[in-house]
Amino acid sequence: MSELLPVILSGGSGTRLWPLSREAYPKQFLPLVGERSMLQDTWLRVAALAPAPLVIANEEHRFMVAEQLRQVGCSPRAIVLEPVGRNTAPAIAIAALEASADGADPVLLVLPSDHVVRNAPGFRAAVQRALPAARDGRLVTFGIVPTGPEAGYGYILAGGGKAEAGEGVRAVARFVEKPDLATAEQYVASGEYFWNSGMFLFRASRYLEELGRYQPAMLDACRAALAAARRDSEFVRLPKALFAACPADSIDYAVMEKTDAASVLPVDVGWNDVGSWSALWEVAEQDGDGNAHHGDVLARGCRNTLAWGDHRLVALLGLEDVVVVDTADAVLVAHRERVQEVKEIVATLKAGNRPQATWHRKVYRPWGSYDGIDVGARFQVKRITVKPGAALSLQMHHHRAEHWIVVSGTARVTRGEEVFLLGENQSTYIPLGVKHRLENPGQVPLELIEVQSGSYLGEDDIVRFEDVYGRG
């Protein structure tokens, strides 16, 4: 009997939930619904079905993926790193090739890392119902029973007429692009159409067989990239030149819309792709007036609002159908019917090389994080947190000097040929051009204030000599 292997796709950038979700820290790493991140919830939803997942992730997010999964007791079978995004069809091909490298042929349960499924037991039961069809060679997708007409989703027409959740796997008659609202209303009224969830179940060999039939160049490129991958204790690193040469396409376009093996299992499990602020409002806990608020929010006379405030008090008066999202360096105010246009704001920021498109003020690193508190023409102030036992690279800067003041914890400082300890309220100075390293030898987080001064303060003014995290 084929082993079940969850494949978690964690390569997305999630910019439709800007400014909370950004390219360097997208929505799958955020606790948008509940206490855990969406990535963590994705794994815990299926942890009872398999011992470990295979994860496909953006190379830039590798330490966040590993750390968040470690926090919920997950040791992935492998974390495969994509140096560039090539959409879902190549990502799943890499997963299928990796999963079958030892001659096995597991059934892959393909899951985006940034969806909500309210009824986890119901979803696990649906996977069990779909397994016989997948083992028999069908490429099964999970079709969501619509809760209403939705123009933001693709649809699946099930063969054999009207279908309901719990009726079992059926052949797919056709896939339909995102329709206009009037067409969506007709689809929902017919009872024959389901939302396309982007979740799949099939044997690794069957997916590779169908991909080779319809996209042989893509399969060849994926084989070449995985064959040349570098492997270490945590990650499988695909070579950039080889993987970038792979054609980019979704699994829907590359395989599912072409194959005669496509099947659909209708399910009603409280699914939502949280693809916009209005979608988050739908799944968030609401008060009697339809307001969904997170953080320090004070509202009077408001209806159907979504407000997110992590950094300061957010006050709303007399508003309806409005989204307000406050972060440390950006505020979004939008009508709920216009939130899909957030991507245009992000595009404008990128075109202007504005850092708010990619970075939060607080930036996560494998050793901890830093928060940009203040910046001026020739200075910058950061609050730095170093995890217990962690160390920054041995490095130097051509254009800036640094002052370090320990707020709490203990720092081990390398400065030139010197190595010394600093405790709370102690400080040191790192001159321009001097090799240095910051370490936390203690059992509690190290907190310090760094004041940089110089002619150029960019993050690319770092020359690394040694780094335990393999960064150049």
Q: Are 406 and 451 in contact (CB under 8 A)?
A: no
Higher pLDDT, 345 or 467: 345
Q: For position 179, what pLDDT does the model report?
A: 83
Residue 28 one-letter amino acid: Q
Q: Where are the domains of the chain?
A: 4-272, 277-349, 362-466
Q: For position 21, what pLDDT does the model report?
A: 94
Chain-wide mean pLDDT for the chain?
93
Tokens of 15: 């910019």
Q: For position 1, what pLDDT does the model report?
A: 44
As assigned by CATH, the class of the 4-272 domain is: alpha beta
Q: If you average pLDDT over residues 255-273, what whole number do you get?
A: 94
Q: If you average pLDDT over residues 1-15, what whole number do you get?
A: 85
pTM of the model: 0.90
pLDDT (tens digit per residue) in 419-445: 999 999 999 999 999 999 999 999 999
pLDDT (tens digit per residue) in 364-405: 888 999 999 999 999 999 999 999 999 999 999 999 999 999
d(CA 216, CA 284): 43
- Superfamily of 362-466 according to CATH: Jelly Rolls (2.60.120.10)
Q: If you average pLDDT over residues 257-267, what whole number do you get?
A: 95
d(CA 468, CA 392): 8
Q: For position 115, what pLDDT does the model report?
A: 95
What is the CB neighbour count within 10 angstroms for residue 376? 9
**Alpha-carbon torsion (227, 39, 348, 342), positive or negative:** positive
Confidence of residue 158 (pLDDT cuts 50, 70, 90): confident
Q: For position 458, what pLDDT does the model report?
A: 85
Q: For position 161, what pLDDT does the model report?
A: 66
Q: If you average pLDDT over residues 191-212, what whole number do you get?
A: 95
